[in-house]
Every structure is written in structure tokens, then in C-alpha cells.
Homo-oligomer: A and B are copies of this chain.
Amino acid sequence: MHSFKALSEKFELQFGKRQFPDFPPNLYDPAQYILGIGGKRIRPVLTLLGNELFDEIHADAYHAANAIELFHNFTLIHDDIMDKAPLRRGKPTVHTKYSEPAAILAGDVMLIHCYDYLNKIQLRLQQKVTVVFNKAAREVCEGQQLDMDMEQMRPEQVNYTDYVNMIALKTSVLLAASLQLGAIIGGGSDGNQGHLYEFGKNVGIAFQIQDDYLDAFGDPEKFGKQQGGDILINKKTFLLLKALELCTPAQKAHLHDLMERNPDNKVAEVLQVFHDCKVDAWAEKEKERFCNIAFGHLDDIAVLSKRKEPLRELADFLLTRQH
């Protein structure tokens, strides 16, 4: 069994080479570019971890992991176009560096390439693998569309349950499916696959709540971002949506006023309302709630506890970060 770090290195060793032909460069260079600007490769390593939970790592796990990482980067390219994002990991986004048509097409060819890798997997697993991969792929698209839909709504029009569902689709189901693909390749039973999937999905939601919390209440020096970045742009977050549910009519009116006027002390004032209506404490409990669901599913996987250590360590690392 290997640690996350050891598996990251193993993954990178075979993924780090050029993934695409040289010609035509205006098609393939943008695709290669985004693969080269970093990223923690969490998803593909989850596939390797999911495999190793049940058995030694099979070559097929690398094929699935490569497909997952390509898919993730494809979504980044297209999402950045839709969100008009100029930067990604501190570097120009693909459509900014090249052009929007080049970015659309590079994403397309990257998505196609995913299925080249899935097609290398042993035949008896291919249908199941593709079903799981495609379900997640479709759901990620649904999540992105629902996110765009919700952006057009006023915060109090967004139902909290719908928001959690959107976050799960947009960010968590791919983590969950990454693990499940590994489990399929490792020979895990359907029941164990299901528990592993739910573990990944709920860790993903807990992580997103933590991310929203840290953006508001985290130490900006440790977190490496401007404090209250989400607040400044009126981003719908777990905190804002729940605050609007928990707060008094007067606090609600104050929040709306702050979001409309954008005064200099907006971040401090919004944080004060968050604190007054105890949404900070709520967020910690809500994160805990999803963590408990996640670890409950991890416990229920019928393999020796020792085999679960790398997954437990990774989740602990992701979910207790203060930076």
C-alpha cells in the first residue's frame, strides 16, 4: 500500500509525458498547456487509492486515472470560458492565452481522449467503467449548468437543498466516481463500491463547506487568499445562503444593503452578521455532519481497517487544513 504522495509520483511519472500529437499545434498545444500548469492530481490518485483498497494496483487503474484527470482538465478549460475567468492557478486560462475557439476545441479533443484511455481497460470491466465514468461526466455538466442557473437568481431564491445538490454534482461526484473506478478495477463488490462512492461524495461536500468557511473566517496569511473574497463578489456560498435563512429580518435587510452598496467595510460588516446569526458555528457543524456521513461509509467498507489508512489520512489532511 502506498501513501497519497507516493501514488502522486507514480501517477505523474506516466501522465507527465506529452499526451497529444504535435500537429496541429493550435489544437493540441492549448490542451497540453493546461496539463502543465499544475494541479494536485487528487482525482486520479483517488482512483489508484480506490484500486489499492482492494488489491494491488492494476495497469487499468492508470488508464482510468488518466481519463479522470483529462476529464477534470477538460471541465476546467470549458468552465473558464463560461465563467470568463482570466486566471487559473495564477496562469492565464486557455482561452485567454490562446483564443476562445481554440479553448473550446482543445477541451473537446481532451474529452475524446478520455475514452481512448477507457478503451484500454480490460474488456470485462469496460462497460461498467464507462457507465460510472459517463454518469459522473453528465452530472458534472448538470452541476455546472445549475451553478450558472443559480448565479442568475437572487440568493434568497436559492433553496439550500438545491444548492447542496448543485455543489455535489459540480465538485463531488467526480471525486466519488474516481474512487469507484479504482474499486471496480480492484475487484471491490458493488456494496463496497457504493460505500466508497458515498465516502468520496460526502468528503467533497464537507471540503466545499470548509472552503467557504475559510474564505470568510480563515487566516488570510495561511489560506493564501484575500479574506472575504467570496463576500466581496456576493458569491453564493453555504454561509451566505444559510445566513439568509437564519438571520432576523433586520439582519437580512442589512445584508442586502451591503451586497448592493458594496461599502469599504463590507467584508467586516457581513462577517459580523454571519457571526451574529451564528452561521460560523453552523458551518462547522454542517461540515462535521458530512464528515460523519463520509467516515461512516468508509467504516462500512468490508476490508481490513489497515487498508483504509491512506484514504483516512488523505481525508483528514483535506478536511483539517487551516491553510
A interface with B by C-beta (< 8 Å)? 23-24, 26-27, 74, 78, 81-82, 100-102, 104-105, 107-109, 111-113, 115-116, 119, 123-124, 126-127, 130-131, 134, 137-138, 141-142, 144-146, 148-149
In the complex, how many angstroms separate the beta carbon of A281 from the nearest chain B beta carbon? 33
Contact B82 A24 (CB under 8 A): no
Q: Is the CB of B130 within 8 A of A115?
A: yes
Given A115-B134, A127-B123, residue A146 in contact with residue B108 (CB < 8 A)? no
Which chain B positions have C-beta within 8 A of A112?
111, 134, 137-138, 141
Complex contact A119–B108 (CB within 8 A): no
Cα–Cα, bound, A105→B31 (Å): 18
> A238 → chain B, closest Cβ, in Å?
20
Most B CB contacts (10 A, CB to CB) among A102, A131, A141, A149 go to A141
Interface contacts beyond A24-B145, A74-B108, A119-B131: sample of 4 additional A-B pairs, CB < 8 Å, sorted by A: A26-B149, A113-B138, A116-B134, A119-B130
Q: Give the chain B neighbours of A102 by CB distance below 8 A.
A: 145, 148
Knowing A123-B127, A141-B105, say if A24 contacts B146 (CB, 8 Å).
yes
Q: Are B123 and A105 in contact (CB under 8 A)?
A: no
- On chain B, the residues within 8 Å of A127 by CB distance are 119, 123, 126
A252–B138 Cα distance when bound, in Å, is: 52
For the complex, give the distance between the alpha carbons of A153 and B123 in Å: 46
| Structural contact, A104 and B82, CB atoms closer than 8 A | yes
Docked-complex contact B101 and A82, CB < 8 angstroms: yes
Q: For chain A, what secondary structure do more than half of its interface residues adopt (helix, strand, loop), or is it mixed? A: helix
> Would A101 and B134 be within 8 Å (CB), given that A108-B78, A112-B141 are in contact?
no
Residues of B within 8 A of A81 (CB): 101, 104
A81–B138 alpha-carbon span in the complex (Å): 21
The verdict on A104 contacting B78 (CB below 8 Å), with A115-B115, A123-B123, A146-B24 known, is yes
Shortest A180–chain B CB gap in Å is 16
- Chain B residues with CB under 8 Å of A137's CB are 112
| Cβ–Cβ contact A82 & B111, under 8 A | no
Assuming the contacts A105-B78, A111-B112, asked whether A27 and B123 have C-beta atoms less than 8 A apart, the reply is no
How far in angstroms is the closest Cβ of chain B from A296?
29
Q: Are A141 and B109 in contact (CB under 8 A)?
A: yes
Q: How far is the CB of A93 from chain B (nearest CB, A)?
A: 14
Q: How far is the CA of A109 from the CA of B27 in the complex (A)?
A: 21
Max chain B C-beta neighbours (<10 A), residue from A108, A113, A127, A131 = A108
> Smallest Cβ distance from A295 to chain B, in angstroms?
31
Contact residue among B116, B123, B131, B145 (Cβ-Cβ distance under 8 Å from A126):
B123
Tell me which residues across on chain B come within 8 A of A100, comparing CB atoms. Answer: 82
CB-CB under 8 A from A105, the residues of chain B are 78, 82, 141, 144-145
Query: What residues on B are CB-neighbors of A108 within 8 Å?
Result: 74, 78, 107-108, 111, 141
The complex places the Cα of A124 from the Cα of B127 at a distance, in Å, of 11
Q: Report Cα–Cα, A116/B149, bound state, in Å.
A: 26
